[in-house]
Amino acid sequence: MTEYEPQEPDPSSPGHLFSAGGPVARTIRNFEPREQQGQMADAVYKAVSGGKHLLVEAGTGVGKSLAYLIPAALWAVRNKKKVVVATHTKALQAQLVKKDLPVVKAILEEQGLRLNYFLLMGSGNYLCLSRLERAYAQGEELFEEDGSKDVVVELAAWAKLASSGCRPEIPLNVPQRVWEEVCRDPDNCLGRKCAHLETCFYRKEVALAKAADIIVANQHLFFAGMPTPAFDAVIFDEAHNLEDVASAFMGFSLTDRKVKRLLDDIFNQKSGKGLVRRLRTPPANWVPAMQQAVADVNFASRTFFHDIREKLGFDAPEGGAAKARRVRKPRLVENTLAQPLLALTVLLSEAIGHSKSAQEEAEIKGFLVRCLALAEQTAAFLKCDDGDSAYWVENSYSKRAPSLSLNMSPVDVAEYLRKELFGNEYPVILTSATLAVDASFRMVKTRLGIDRADELLLDSPFDYQQQAVIYVPTAIPDPAEAQAYEAALIEECFKISSAVDGGIFLLFTGWQILDKAHKALERRLGGRPLFRQGDKLPQQLLAEFRRAGNGVLFATDTFWQGVDVQGPALSCVVIARLPFTSPDTPLEEARHEWMTARGINVFNEYSLPKAVVKFRQGFGRLIRSKADFGAVVVLDPRIRTRRYGPKFLRSIPRCHQVSGLKELKAFFDCRKE
């Protein structure tokens, strides 16, 4: 373990910029110096300038964004380097670009330095002028009579004067169905052959990113491949999500709906529209042959997914919940898709030579690539021969119809990251408010394949002893007593909601208990604004929750992390259950088996540390500023009764524990005075 050791102040290091009366204080109104922020800035500067990897846990309130942006910007501008900052959430990307980087730019200007920064999104987030032109000309063939053609007309008029084609900046309501026909698709891109090359929105964005000193991007985009020249350092914020992002990138999910969508795009048997009807001069007898080929693949797909559904015994559950089944052996069913798909790809290949435009050729090739990917993923899933991967089928339900997905994901990404990320010459910095367990980075280093890195642990500057209390009710049964536990849990949620006037987060670990609690309390908390995850988009729910001031939010995974609600609007966070990952999910089950086979103590070295990190994330939703105060309630008695319970309590800042609702209410009453 290589720990970060503070050294004598270096005039070129950025730590001194955070001092009272310094450049940061002069730029940010009401700035309060925090020793931890300066320490982190110096550590980041030392890492990037020395080409070393660095792990930094920065507790809530440290101000980690500026603590890595300022040193990264100084190093990049002084040395003509390029730094990528990769986040997990769009919310943090927006914060960095709209709030933090303008501050960094002003501070560097005061130092006589000019900073360029840019937010680069995945190419599917940008309007493609070539595809828009095609959609405008072929609207009747592309869309049903649902007003989509009118949206394309409006979009085409707007695009003539637009400077950016990034979807969030388009002032029109573009339905997803329309967007999929007009957004940039790498498989359909004409590159230098495109008639809109000089005005291409995506090309302009990439050019701006190439000129930037700091590029802000999504972690998924980073792994998919940055469309920019080689960068010199990468900073992963929200790095506790990195394993899941890398695992998703290395796997795949193939749904029956995805197959149906591909076939409808080639030829929709109901509407008679699609690629088949748009080609101007197809080969002789090609159109009827393609129509038959699409019909054959459609039939084969229905048979294929029906056979899987029947083989695994899927029945529609009540409540519309999803079910998953692990696949352990090859040849779950016969690959009835292989031959029809091959015939379809042959016909698509024949049409390429008859294209009458570069756009037409690119479109055909795009469909060919999609067909080949479908065939490859289907074959890989049925082969089921990678012992280091999990294979499973998931049956999900919606109001329309059930959907089946075939999934593959590696159970361990350490070797991949050790070679492809940490084995490169550029420094990699990982930061989050929750990276360590019991003041150790052991788990994150093991899971991500980090062999050598400097390490820095920074406590929160907030006074949790004064600002927060923790309450663990004593009368709740163990979760193993499922019915009794659920009943007591719901009753306790009601009591807490009655005792706390401010906003409350009720954080659950599963949808089933969330729904039960919401249904039960909806009747009993009449008049109080209730919010349920899934009813609206998360950003919308959060905005309405903030405005309510005394809302009760029923939430699961999405709201355990990356959510910032300051003031009385969030006065209490209720953690319904210790967030152990269920080992009966296919991926987790496979991970457990993989680790057990290698002599790893799964509970002590994986399940428990992972649960502690998520617990810390949930706890961290409460205190977001020096003025905040509130309570965290844990409705899981195992935090008191099991030998591992103290590990959860040691993982959070030390704060006063209350013994009952009366004492909890007294804490809030005292803060009102």
Coarse DSSP helix, strand, coil percentages of the chain, rounded to the nearest 5 percent: 50, 15, 35
Name which of 17-31, 47-61, 91-105, 352-366 the model is least confident about: 352-366
Residue 587 lies in a domain: yes
Instruction: Answer whether residue 8 is part of any domain.
Output: yes
Cα distance between residue 621 and residue 616, in whole Å:
9
What band does 275 get if pLDDT is binned at 50, 70 and 90? Answer: confident
Rounded Cα–Cα distance for residues 588 and 106 (Å): 46
CB of 178 closer than 8 Å to CB of 152: yes
Residue 140's pLDDT is what? Answer: 64
Residues 594 and 529 in one domain: yes
Whichever domain contains 587, its CATH number is 3.40.50.300
Count of domains for the chain: 4
pLDDT at residue 229, rounded to an integer? 67
The confidence band for 73, taking pLDDT boundaries of 50, 70 and 90, is: very high
Shared-domain flag, residues 637 and 530:
yes
Q: Which pLDDT does position 192 carry in this prediction? A: 80
Give the residue from 664, 661, 668, 634 showing the smallest Cα distance to 649. 634
**What are the structure tokens assigned to 626, written together?**
């020096």
> Which residues constitute the domain of residue 398?
250-406
- Per mean pLDDT, which range of 4-18, 266-280, 408-422, 501-515 is the poorest? 4-18
* Structure-token pair, residue 378: 């289907």
Are residues 105 and 167 both part of a single domain?
Answer: no
pLDDT score at 146:
63
Span 99-137, pLDDT tens digits? 999 999 999 999 899 999 999 988 888 999 988 887 887
Report d(CA 10, CA 217) in Å as an integer.
30
Radius of gyration from C-alpha coordinates of the chain = 27
Which pTM does this prediction carry?
A: 0.87
Tell me: do 381 and 430 sit in the same domain. no
Tell me the angle at which helices 338-352 and 286-312 cross, rounded to the nearest 10 degrees: 150
Backbone angles phi, psi at 430, to 5 degrees: -110, 130
User: How far apart (Å, rounded) are the C-alpha atoms in residues 602 and 599?
Assistant: 9
Share of the chain above pLDDT 90, in %: 65
Q: Which two tokens stand for residue 130?
A: 């070539």
At residue 319, the pLDDT reads: 43
Q: Which of 362, 378, 406 is the last residue of a domain?
A: 406
Mark whether 559 and 636 lie in a shared domain: yes
pLDDT at site 302: 94
Mean pLDDT confidence for 472-485: 93
Say if residue 131 is in the same domain as residue 109.
no
- Listed in sequence order, the DSSP H helices in 165-280 are 176-182, 201-211, 219-224, 242-250, 256-266, 275-278
Average pLDDT (386-408) is 85
Q: Looking at the domain assignment, is residue 562 inside a domain?
A: yes
Cα angle: 17, vertex 21, 22; to 5 degrees: 15
Looking at 620-659, which runs of residues are DSSP E strands?
630-634, 656-658
Same domain, 450 and 471: no
Look at residue 242 and tell me if it is in a domain. Answer: no
How far apart (Å, rounded) are the C-alpha atoms in residues 182 and 143? Answer: 12
327-355 residue pLDDT tens? 999 999 999 999 999 999 999 999 898 88
Residue 538's pLDDT band (boundaries 50, 70, 90)?
confident
Beta bridge partners of 56: 431, 456
Are residues 399 and 450 part of one domain? no
Regarding whether 131 and 105 lie in a shared domain, the answer is: no
Q: 436-448: per-residue pLDDT in tens?
A: 998 999 999 999 9
- Are 529 and 551 in contact by the 8 Å Cβ rule? The answer is yes
Q: CB of 615 within 8 A of CB of 560?
A: no
pLDDT confidence bin for 3, thresholds 50/70/90: low
Pair (581, 513) in one structural domain: yes
Q: What is the pLDDT of residue 276?
A: 83
**Euclidean distance between the first and final Cα of the chain, in Å?**
48
436 and 378 fall within a common domain? no
The pLDDT score that the predictor gives to residue 320 is: 45
Give the integer Cα–Cα distance in Å for 370 and 512: 36
| Nearest CA-CA partner of 314 in 331, 333, 286, 289 | 333
Question: Is pLDDT above 90 for 564?
Answer: no
Q: Nearest 5°: CA angle at 201, between 184 and 193?
A: 70
Percent of the residues in the chain that have a pLDDT greater than 70, as a whole number: 94
* Residues 568 and 627 sit within 8 Å (Cβ to Cβ): no
Average pLDDT value for residue range 539-555: 93
Residues 510 and 592 in one domain: yes
Closest by Cα among 497, 500, 494, 487 to 663: 500
Residue 30 lies in a domain: yes
Amino acid residing at 211:
A
